[in-house]
A = this chain, B = another copy of it.
Amino acid sequence: MSNGSQHIAVFGPGLMGASLLMALRAKRPEAKLSVWARRDEAVAEVMRRGLADSASADAAETIRGADVAVLCVPVDRMAEVAAAIAPHIRADALVTDVGSTKEKLVSRLENDFAANRNFVGSHPMCGSDESGLDAARADLYEGALCVVCPTSASRPELISRAEELWKSVGARVTQLSPADHDAAAAAASHVPHVAAAALVELMGRERPEFRELCATGFRDTTRVAAGSPDLWSAILAENADKTAAALSKLEAILAGYREAMVKADRQQMTKRLAAAAETRAEIFRRT
């Protein structure tokens, strides 16, 4: 069987899952697509939109015969879906996911699929402050980075199959261990999310007429704070240790700026701001 005609089962037709289905439809028309949704209305909506060949609220039915299963539910819902599909999965199938945290999740899901070592974790980095089926689009994965997170327990052919899946919808692929992924994601995504929400909370405590001064800078700096509170509290809870440690470092950096202001140490401020501007340019020069 060529990769093109794989049976791919997607669990959860939200932003990530429905966008994956749309991308697979467009780029791999021979693939057989099945989808599981928790609610009957979502099952009906998926079929109405023609996103998959079959849709069901029965996970066992969705996984039957699949070469690849992609768990696209929030990180705190992964366990129940895994439990529902594990007894019915083919021994040679890949199970992967789109969870924004990896260390604890990979450990649990490797355990759920231990019998045949089906699981290899993935994190395609193309979330948005939008969520749900209505926000889905066929090009969500195009050019995005997908971090694949194998461990010593991962089967090499399933690592390859995961990488091929994400490349087939246009993503760039890199590998990090689950622990390194979570440390990197804390600094690149989870702490910035908390900082954005904290900046909004700070502004919210000021007098209402002060809000008028929130211009494009404030809008961009806090954009991610518009994201789903449930989704994000689940992410922060999953990556609590590394995010809390990074937050503590951020607080120390902010205190450093504050002390420089109190001491009127303009040289120190300029130096730190110049270093940050340079680091940021380096980070985005590669893209």
Interface residues on A, range: 35 or more
Does A126 make an interface contact (CB < 8 A)? yes
Contact indicator A244/B224 (Cβ below 8 Å) = no
Does A43 make an interface contact (CB < 8 A)? no
Instruction: Report which A residues bind B (CB closer than 8 A).
Output: 125-127, 144-145, 147, 174, 176, 180-181, 183-185, 187-189, 191-207, 209-215, 217-227, 229-230, 232-234, 236-237, 240, 243-244, 246-251, 253-255, 257-258, 261-262, 264, 266, 269-277, 279-284, 286
Contact indicator B215/A253 (Cβ below 8 Å) = no
Closest Cβ of chain B to A43, distance in Å, is 27
Task: Give 25 CB contacts A-B under 8 Å.
Answer: A125-B213, A145-B212, A176-B209, A184-B209, A188-B214, A192-B199, A192-B221, A195-B195, A197-B276, A200-B276, A200-B277, A200-B279, A201-B253, A202-B246, A202-B249, A203-B279, A203-B283, A214-B283, A220-B220, A221-B224, A227-B273, A229-B270, A247-B255, A247-B257, A251-B254
| Identical subunits present | 2
Q: In the complex, A280 Cα to B232 Cα: how many Å? A: 16
Closest Cβ of chain B to A52, distance in Å, is 27
With contacts A270-B229, A272-B197, A273-B229 taken as known, whether A220 is within 8 angstroms of B217 at the C-beta atoms is: no
Contact indicator B215/A187 (Cβ below 8 Å) = no
- The residue from B183, B219, B240 contacting A206, defined by CB atoms under 8 A apart: B183
List of B residues within 8 angstroms of A191 by Cβ? 199, 202
List of B residues within 8 angstroms of A144 by Cβ? 215
Contact indicator A187/B202 (Cβ below 8 Å) = yes
List of B residues within 8 angstroms of A276 by Cβ? 196-198, 200-201, 204, 225
